Amino acid sequence: MPKKKDIAIIGYGRFGQVWAEFLRPDFNVFVADQRKVAPGVGIKGLSFTTLKDALKMETVFLCIPISSFADFLAKNAQHFNPRGTVLDVCSVKTYPVDLMKKHLPRTCQIIGTHPMFGPDSIKEGAADLRIVLSRVRQKPATYKFWRDYFKKKQLKVVEITPRQHDKLAAESQSIAFYIGRVLGELNLKPTPIDTLGFKRLQKMIDQTCNDSWQLFYDLQTKNPYGEGVRQRIERSFKKIDRELQKKQHAVPVLGIQGGQGSFNEEVARTYAKEFGIGEYKVKYLYDSARVIQQLKSGKIDYGLMAIYNSVGGPVLESMHALAQCECRMVQIVHHPIRHFLLAQKSVNLADVKKIISHPQAIKQCQKTLKKKFPRVKITEGKGELIDQATAAKALAAGKLPSSAAVLANQVCADLFDLKILAKDLQDQKNNVTSFALIKRA
């Protein structure tokens, strides 16, 4: 009986243990791991040795994390047997192969491998599982030896280049791991009415999420084609979601930042034809955050909000909301704004103790308000009262003190039967606000 060849396995993690078990019947397997692994622990028949001694062996399998590959080779390249053969088992190929070519002695033979199975999938046996082999820098006889060996072990050998591997893996393995992790975040539980399809999904979740987050991260980031595939997945999700939402409303729903009588409503009515959305229904949402939330959930088809004023600058409420959602600007219009001070019919100017309005409206009128009403408290509306029209409605309904006045659109006076105490309180005559019509990206 011919003497068994000595081989070394560097790294005794989950896959290193599987690989040691796979090779042990046919080779003398020596294991080196940065952790302290006592002889006799793990698989019977293995020998544990130092890293330096392991790297001197004729054949070395690198079963180390992809994330550690560059640092490991940079630190230990000088210890490898210059006449030996080094094989990696990484789930990506271009990245580790390029590093081995860069760091290992030029006389060292290199073969890239990717066993297309893991600790979970090999439990039912190796028959018909696949292993990728990539020719890198090796003698024909060495390559033939390992190809024939894997075929003898009933593995299906797939011979492709590292780049071909990564492109194909991004289309299959990367997608499976990505979708599995996404579904794993949902924390799905079995139910009494689970379908076969759901059970298969659950099995995929179990397999993909059982591996470490580091492995998942490396698979997604070290494959040069991974990012492109993830972007395609995200675009597909959005496309399908858009198609679902498209059928939801017979007439498009336009959600606006304000309430009835607001400048937002005025803009929606004034520029309806210019927006090009034809017939639509207005939904009063009062603030920008709710516009974004309902746009994301598909409860509205379009959103309208003020984004910039020529005097007050950016509308911060809208800027913060827009930062929380990917959306598309359909159109921006510029609308002149006039501010009126409104109060209950029985109230005179001398009775006003507090003026309430949107913080942006206060910015646009702050000099005039300070000059004309130096003793009156200026207050930003809270909650739904941040909307000027809603605050005007609340004032008319007696939900605000009679000594309060609201800085709002002129139309609110007629709409809610309020008295105009002062008009054109904006600091500049040419006071223009830019409004954005948005839809889902």
Topology agreement, domain 253-334+436-440 and domain 340-425: yes
Q: Which CATH superfamily is 340-425 part of?
A: Periplasmic binding protein-like II (3.40.190.10)
Residue ranges per domain, the chain?
Answer: 6-161, 173-246, 253-334+436-440, 340-425
3-state secondary structure the chain: CCCCCEEEEECCCHHHHHHHHHHCCCCEEEEECCCCCCCCCCCCCCEECCHHHHHCCCEEEECCCHHHHHHHHHHHHHHCCCCCEEEECCCCCHHHHHHHHHHCCCCCEEEEEEECCCCCHHHHCCCCCEEEEEEEECCHHHHHHHHHHHHHCCCEEEECCHHHHHHHHHHCHHHHHHHHHHHHCCCCCCCCCCCHHHHHHHHHHHHHHHCCHHHHHHHHHCCCCHHHHHHHHHHHHHHHHHHHHHCCCCCCEEEECCCCCCHHHHHHHHCHHHHCCCCCEEEECCCHHHHHHHHHHCCCCEEEEEEEECCCEECHHHHHHHCCCCEEEEEEEEEECCCEEEECCCCCHHHCCEEEECHHHHHHHHHHHHHHCCCCEEEECCHHHHCHHHHHHHHHCCCCCCCEEEEECCHHHHHHCCEEEECCCCCCCCCEEEEEEEEEC
Q: What is the CATH code for 6-161?
A: 3.40.50.720
Q: Is 253-334+436-440 a CATH 3.40.50.2300 domain? A: no
Q: What is the pLDDT along the chain (441 residues), one digit of tens a residue?
A: 567 899 999 999 889 999 999 999 999 999 998 765 555 455 566 889 999 999 999 999 999 999 999 999 999 999 999 999 999 999 999 999 999 999 999 999 999 999 998 777 777 777 779 999 999 999 999 999 999 999 999 999 999 999 999 999 998 888 888 999 999 898 888 899 989 988 988 888 888 888 888 888 988 999 999 999 999 998 898 888 777 766 667 788 999 999 999 999 999 999 888 888 778 899 999 999 999 999 988 889 899 999 999 999 999 999 999 988 878 889 999 999 999 999 999 999 999 999 999 999 999 999 999 999 999 999 999 888 999 999 999 999 999 999 999 999 999 999 999 999 999 999 998 999 999 999 987
Model pTM score: 0.63
